[in-house]
Structure 1
């Protein structure tokens, strides 16, 4: 688990440190008189902004994945599973099998391209697994060794033509694959096989519109809370940008002359992101609510189990929201389970009522 932790934290902290550096360079750029120095400051702004973006996004994602690994190892014990290996050259999967060598679930491995086939391959018949087979977990070789994060993916499914097993007699019939009749269910610390239909109500997404576990009306509250949070974040960004801009012209603002306003919009965006991160990550990880949600008695919960999200989960959601506009404009790829990055907001009294019962 300690392998690569220094690199992950260093990458994230460098990206975080480049945020005030970018704001500082943007602030001093208008006051630079030398052309050569102005070019140097402009180059520094571009490099610092690029390093900040890469460091925060990549470092944050790597830290979040490592946190999921630790959570899986703390919550679940190691258990031995027979497996089938499925690989395409770019992605690899392990199919967990029960005692009768019937498929239980198929998990995709979070593996760098250069490490494909190193931990498990077509010669692997058994692995160690710690986690929930129907969601995510950590795999390793029998006896311990390197670790891989594995998870269920709805968008990336293994191709049937590359399916291989060690024993040809174990090849399943792929013409009409039967739907799974049983799945592993964890109750009171015990994992058991139960019919799929029995756990439908428990696997229902928490906080949805039709979820009667949170009966209080909250649609209007969520809209108003979102508006207030945005007003606070934008106000902090604009106010801080005006405070650090000595050339700010109130007369230009009164005339709506934005070209001579004297405020760098990049500085305002930087302070806006900082205010958003403080409110949505730090404050929300402590009090489970933002300033706007707190005014209307709302808290955020995890959709899969109704519990409060952790700091790592809130960080991942915030980074996803920052990345989402860029992905839409650039037609970039998104996560496999995009619903996990939209945390539902419910009334706090409904959460307290549910925990009491």
Structure 2
């Protein structure tokens, strides 16, 4: 639901009634992960997607029905071999979809509207909804803020709310979406409760060091992937808005000095295109010691060997050097700046998702992999996906 927060927030602000269908779980091959949503208003207008097309029609009708009767339902869709026209996933997977009405009189509306408003503003927010449990609880919701405070509740027992808030806060901290299986003891209602937690966090950062021609194409690729992109270069004649109109931020400073003072996190991507030892070495010496998602540096193999030697002289350890993607990008045979940007973007995605970079044709690995799975905890088992971007 939070993946279409901006549009849904506008609907809520306009007083529209709508129903939202959200992917709760995916088994096998599925085109979209947990948190993907399709919403339908009373006029029949639809936005979003839960499956890339193969079950959209059936989910659309479920949303229309939920608007009429006010009932929250959990529906499973799977591959249909018997009837080619039946609603099913042709990719062979199984998805569970939660369909929730969000009408003016529904108790969950203020809670969902609050989470949608925060996500639409680009603030971190999470919403937890009961997917399955005792009769009458499905669809009840609470919204969780980064400071641990929350709005709404499940109306069963304070312990259930506290458990869900704690687990949702942990998922929110890393921008994850997934389901929680809270046991009977934690739920205090006699039976286990399944809770879907959707997280929305500000977009991850991509910092491109070096205002060269290749950087312009990489900026566009970064924006396309949903990053907030900064270009940094010490040369004011090159680091200009005219050269990088798509960048969110342009900084004129020595790269290592800027990296020392800017905010980064575990999702931040650092792309070093400066291709000059006086910039590269102090920058990479710092970057390889930071808890970021990716550090890549452009250059030929000869440049890489020279750079590696300089970094070792500067005190960078072999373990730190192992984090460096250099020469940057996957081997696509890229020549142009645009092709090179695709190569770099592909390596960033593969690093984040645990991909091999090999052709899918004939590959033994699954197409859709759950590489961002959160470890199980004592109070609840968690299965989820990466951030909603």
TM-score with structure 2 length normalisation? Answer: 0.24
Q: Select the structure that is richer in strand.
A: 2
Larger radius of gyration: 1
